[in-house]
Homo-oligomer: A and B are copies of this chain.
């Protein structure tokens, strides 16, 4: 005989399936003595609920879905993702909610999975990352009616809950700091232009140009990889009038940029200041250590988990949570531009 079912228990105790179901779920409708006998027998037979059978009846899946449309390798390379994942896990595992994780090729495949998992009731909700400028996933998820938390914003996530950091404000704080140091030619090695937060950062820099009297404020788009980050840096440093400061959209790219500067004989921070838009062990141990915007991604994951769990418990409890504005951690990679600088 395989695993015991409530029918097996019912037979052995000499009651009906219904009585066993009531007893095991702590509902009234069965006497204390019988309940005790049933519980005892269930324990003896090592009975466990069968989630598939429960799911048929519409019960919780005790899992949330995370589908990511990126090459799998980036997961391991980007500290941001690893941190987010562990923060999510920390929040979810407190309630023993598992995470159903899948990497797919593109956004089309991603929405297909949403439809599959939603109609099969494999998960109780979804977490959406990498919010795009015009994101087709939003309306699909709204249509499906499954609790969803979007990581990113503000706005453009329709009726779905969201957790977001103010990328505009963050970029402004970096640029203001650099301007205060005396920098006037600031470059920006950005991430994927399709991402909404990339756009917000680029616009924030552009908008600062006049207000802070910057001579130059160029954004270069990349795919977030260290190699494109390095290439962008090489291009920027090869120009006639170099930037005196570069802001990188990720710690990995900042590190790659630091390497390129060294290789080209450009001294950091004397000739070039470097700021990373993400803090991690990478920026701390670089040499020189890199000034970075500290975002506590682990905590971010925890907040997303919290909003998710609240939403599952009460689908009406829509939230729009703005996370604490990240603070700039100043390290050795930034300084006033060298006096030999013209401008």
Contact = CB atoms under 8 A, between A and B. Distances in A.
Contacts of A84: 76
A90 B73 contact: yes
A205 to B, nearest CB: 26
Contacts of A285: 255, 259, 282, 285-287
A104 interface: yes
Contacts of A180: none
Given A100-B98, A115-B48, A119-B3, A83 B93 contact: no
| Majority secondary structure, A binding face | helix
A169 interface: no
Nearest to A286: B285
A78 to B, nearest CB: 8
Number of this chain's copies in the complex: 2
Nearest to A72: B90
A239 interface: no
B120 A76 contact: no
Interface string A65-84: 00000001111110101111
A236 interface: no
B282 A120 contact: no
A332 to B, nearest CB: 12
Interface stretch (A7-15, A51-59, A266-274, A310-318): A51-59
B282 A51 contact: no
A115 B83 CA distance: 29
A102 B99 contact: yes
Interface string A171-208: 00000000000000000000000000000000000000
Contacts of A3: 119
24 contacts: A48-B115, A48-B120, A49-B116, A50-B119, A50-B121, A51-B122, A56-B56, A63-B100, A72-B86, A72-B90, A73-B298, A76-B82, A76-B297, A76-B298, A77-B281, A89-B101, A89-B102, A89-B103, A93-B103, A93-B104, A96-B102, A99-B100, A259-B285, A285-B287
